[in-house]
Amino acid sequence: MAPGLVLADLAVGYRRRRRALRPSSRTGQVGRSGRAVLAGLSAAAPRGQLTVLLGPNGIGKSTLLRTLAGLQPPLAGSMRLDGADLNRLTGAARARLVGVVLTDRVQAGLLTAADLVGLGRHPHTGPTGRLTAADRAVVHWALAAVGADHLATRAADELSDGERQRVMMARALAQEPSIILLDEPTAFLDAPSRVTITALLRRLARERDLTVVVSTHDLELSLRVADQVWLVDRTGTLHTGHPDEVVGSGAVNTSFDGDDLHFDPTTRTFELRGPL
């Protein structure tokens, strides 16, 4: 497999505060380092491929992405990007390697779309923060790469949800990272826009030889488009592999089937149980 992101026995969660925490079946185990939301995670997300992170609501997908992004420290294990230990990188070094698109809505103020994308160049600009002609060329390339070059002069606060997502992906691309992590990038988009954005992410992974990891609830679409699947089931167990392998293992049914809903592995669609 191509180099990329490799997790080895990774545990993610929350550090112990000074006051001792009590174990609780509702909040997970409390160890010496803190409360683990997910533990024992071993997986790989190769370069040039789209990896989708799936699982039931509240299982810990966002916690895992935030840990990979460096927004909170891991509790145990390792996470390596092209051989480099992400947990040992300085903030500046991580910013040059890891692009992040979270669900939080960025307050853009009076910035244009190009200004917003230009913020992605700051890991490379040095202490002055001034963009050179070369930096601006990267900004325009990033906008064009996501099909948003026509939005360059638009006020960022006036963009639609779909346009904003493209601009935020362009900002991440402008960092010229090795990996892009995205948390629910299609959550507020209509069906055609979800397909467009998901296909765009797969194309960017291939064309730019990027590692792309996307957390999503759009199970049916992601199973059709993804190269790799990371599926966290209801027990916190991580299942990985090609979509065919994960579907064939029954892990999707174990994770998502309920009293009213059933996942059909043949059609890869959800069906209602019983009469309507």
Residue-wise pLDDT tens digits, 95-138? 999 999 987 666 667 899 999 999 999 998 877 788 999 999 99
pLDDT at 2: 66
Give the other-Cβ count within 10 Å of 34's Cβ: 21
pLDDT at 276: 58
Q: What is the DSSP string of 17-36?
A: -SSPPPPBTTTB-B-SSEEE
Domain architecture of the chain: domains with CATH: 1-82+178-190+197-276 (3.40.50.300), 106-177 (no CATH)
Round to whole Å and give the CA distance between 137 and 125: 13
Q: At how many degrees (to 10) do helices 161-174 and 133-145 cross?
A: 140
- What φ, ψ does residue 53 adopt, rounded to 5°? -105, 115
pLDDT-flagged residues of the chain (< 70): 1-2, 17-33, 104-108, 274-276
Report helix, strand or coil for 232: strand
pTM, full prediction: 0.88
- Edge-to-edge order in the sheet of strand 34-46: 34-46, 4-15, 76-81, 84-85
How many whole angstroms separate alpha carbon 87 and alpha carbon 79? 7
